Amino acid sequence: MFRYFIELAYRGRNYAGFQIQQNANSVQEEVEKALLVFYRQAYELTGSSRTDAGVNALQNFFHLDIPVDHKQPVEADCYRLNAILPDDIVIRSIRPVKPEAHCRFGAMERQYRYGIYKSKDPFLEDRSYYYPYQLDMGLMESAAAMIMEYRDFTSFSKRNTQVKSFICELSESRWYVEGDQLYYTVRGNRFLRGMVRGLVGTMLQVGRGKLSLDEFRDIIEQKDCTRADFAVPGHGLFLIKVSFPDDLYI
């Protein structure tokens, strides 16, 4: 067997999520169908970072194992596979990796970004969240910095998750302004289901004065997801980058 990493980007608007699921279209299903058409072989993919319905990615990964007697991918295959895939999914590269490389468990860090705009703009409506309210940036920046003091993010994990640990090691959490948009960016070794949207939604309540910083801290420490706000839409969220050790690739 030879193992390969597939790097891809996608717009999540038309998909129920990244990972394959019953009775709903996913990014994984579309990529597996393209592989079947092109290679005339069915391959089961393993995903790196799961994204929910509507969430976008500038970079995400699958890995797949190809038997020795099957056609091995080459650089030109990306062009041909992209011709098969829908317009909202693109394969950036297919690269051989060490046999033990795992695109989910081998990832060192993931970076997410959530975008907000306050003035109506039809060119942003599917890539950012329209939120036309006054926000106190100082309070939101303080809330983002406070997040860095913690490792247990039970309060920001949606229910019905199968994870055994709610511990995440974050290396960045901050708000910044770029042009007419407001962004929240966060980096960490792992993220829980709905975690970034829960953080953003709850911090927006702080920015609007509906929650104090002390109340925000209490939500984190109570480890109760019913107190967090997960209401922000998925289309404002982007998975920006997934980082791996340099020696992973062959």
> What amino acid positions are annotated as catalytic residues?
52
Classify each residue of 190-200 as buried b or exposed e, where b means 16 or more C-beta atoms within 10 Å of its C-beta. bbbbbbbbbbb
Query: Tokens for 166?
Result: 């709610």
Q: Are 50 and 194 in contact (CB under 8 A)?
A: no
User: Which of 92, 77, 81, 70 lies closest to 2 in space, CA to CA?
Assistant: 70
Q: Residue 36's closest CA among 97, 74, 81?
A: 81
Residue pair 41/70 in contact by the 8 Å Cβ criterion: yes
Cβ atoms < 10 Å from Cβ of 82: 16
